[in-house]
Amino acid sequence: MKKFFKYTLIAVLFIVLSVGSGFYYVFHSLNKPNPGNPNSGNLTNTDEFVKGGRLNILLLGLDAGTIGASEEHNRHRSDTMMVFSIDRDKKDIKVLSIPRDTRVKIPGVGVEKINAAMAFGGPDLAVKTVKDFLGIPIHNYVVVNYKGFKEIVDALGGVEINIEKPMKYDDNAGNLHIDLKPGLQVLNGDKAEQFVRFRHYPGGDLDRVKAQQKFIEAVGKTILKPSTLLKLPKIINTVQENVETDIGPLEVAGLANFARQVGTDNIKTFILPGEGKYISGVSYFIPFQSQMNDMIDQIFFDGGYSKVAVLNGNGSSGVASKIARELEQKGFKVVRVANADSFDYETTTIIYPKEKKDDAEKIARIFTNAEMKEEPQLQAGLTTVIVGKDIN
């Protein structure tokens, strides 16, 4: 699975790498909001990307929604949810898959499965939910709708994949009928949908996520075939009609160039750790909190961005929380917000251990005249920002 991310980038975000002069036009059109989608438009919950940090992109693959409902009023859930974390300086790429049944608190809604955030508030609420749940910034999103999934597969001429065991399931209420035989075969759009929507695995949602990763890898291999180049015009039109994103065309071009430079040893995939459990008769995926926290640190906060404490050193109410939010939007993980030993700090001060000087310098760029101070005895790994009277 070492090439998983590169395959996914090509399959979902950068499918027109070979278009040449038409590249900008295609993604300019792709980036326009879909007028048929009431959830499209500018997001308010994505974060500003800070140069030198990790770029986090949320990928949402939608389900079929309510059978029989008009598309104008349909409420699609996110059947697939992945966060791609990119460090351009290190050419490091990590992908975290979030099971659709993960039990979370959706802002303004309450405790639900995480896939319901898309249905309640579109990509805007999905972004905010993932940010709050993982404690990370999300800088961009990509949404692939249900209809588009099948059409993209058909535009590719099908996807070859090895099905290990028979897959049989019927859900008349959901108009879902799955009947796939084992063996190496080429799946068209309808059969591909059956493969990724099948849920009756021994390991539940975790096994389903693994199957989806396997399918996306197969899509990538299909796209890399020379014969796919002849199908690009049709593929491009299909992507334009069925993908919504806030990634601008020039950004896409830069990311595409980056993807081609990534070594396979620097690509890692992760699945949220946890287990299936019934609560009040509802099946949820419950994360193992301690393991999840360790995984989040490993994926999103290694090296370039560390844990940070923010202390109020000027006495103004709420100032530490304000600075903490700004730091989190820049990609830092704020683990403590409290008062300093006094409110007499004239200048904002950044105290850091020797091994975290690079982090302190990145934080200092956020402020106008921050003072940096190295403390050899400071707790290792924890850079501290003391907010002075130069900030209101």
The shares of helix, strand and coil residues in the chain, as percent rounded to the nearest 5, are 40, 25, 35
Question: For residues 228 and 206, what is the distance between their CA atoms, to the nearest angstrom?
Answer: 31
Q: Rounded to the nearest 10 degrees, what angle do helices 146-155 and 232-242 cross at?
A: 180
Q: What is the pLDDT of residue 390?
A: 92
Q: Please provide the DSSP assignment of 156-207 as one string.
A: TT-EEEEE-S-EEEEETTTTEEEEE-SEEEEE-HHHHHHHHH----TTTHHH
Strand, coil or helix: what is 214? Answer: helix
The more confidently predicted of residues 319 and 380 is 319
Cβ-based neighbours of 177, under 8 Å, separated by 6 or more: 169, 170, 171, 194
Q: What does the pLDDT look like over 155-211, one tens digit per residue?
A: 889 999 999 999 998 876 666 789 999 999 999 989 988 898 888 888 777 788 788
Q: How confident is the model at residue 40 (pLDDT cuts 50, 70, 90)?
A: very low
pLDDT at residue 68 is higher than 60: no
Phi and psi at residue 328, to the nearest 5°: -65, -40
Mean pLDDT value of segment 107-115: 93
What pTM value is reported for the model?
0.68
Question: For residues 152 and 239, what is the distance between their CA atoms, to the nearest angstrom?
Answer: 7
Q: What is the pLDDT of residue 269?
A: 82
Q: What is the pLDDT of residue 263?
A: 65
Question: For residues 57 and 240, what is the distance between their CA atoms, to the nearest angstrom?
Answer: 19
Question: For residues 377 and 238, what is the distance between their CA atoms, to the nearest angstrom?
Answer: 58
Percent of the chain surpassing pLDDT 90: 26
Question: For residues 176 and 170, what is the distance between their CA atoms, to the nearest angstrom?
Answer: 6
Q: What is the pLDDT of residue 167?
A: 93
Q: What is the pLDDT of residue 21?
A: 29
The more confidently predicted of residues 154 and 258 is 154
Strand, coil or helix: what is 139? Answer: coil
- Centroid of chain to Cα 110: 22
Beta bridge partners of residue 177, listed in sequence order:
170
Q: What is the pLDDT of residue 108?
A: 93
Q: What is the pLDDT of residue 378?
A: 61
Cβ-based neighbours of 66, under 8 Å, separated by 6 or more: 74, 75
Q: What does the pLDDT look like over 307-350, one tens digit per residue?
A: 788 999 999 999 998 998 888 877 787 877 888 889 999 999 99
Strands 282-287 and 274-279: antiparallel
Q: What does the pLDDT look like over 294-310, one tens digit per residue?
A: 888 888 876 445 678 89
Question: For residues 104 and 261, what is the distance between their CA atoms, to the nearest angstrom?
Answer: 36
Mean pLDDT value of segment 213-218: 79
Other residues' Cβ atoms within 10 Å of the Cβ of residue 174? 12
Strands 349-352 and 371-374: parallel
**Which tokens go with 123?**
């990509």
Cβ-based neighbours of 351, under 8 Å, separated by 6 or more: 373, 374, 375, 378, 383, 384, 386
Mean pLDDT of the chain: 78
Q: What is the pLDDT of residue 14?
A: 38
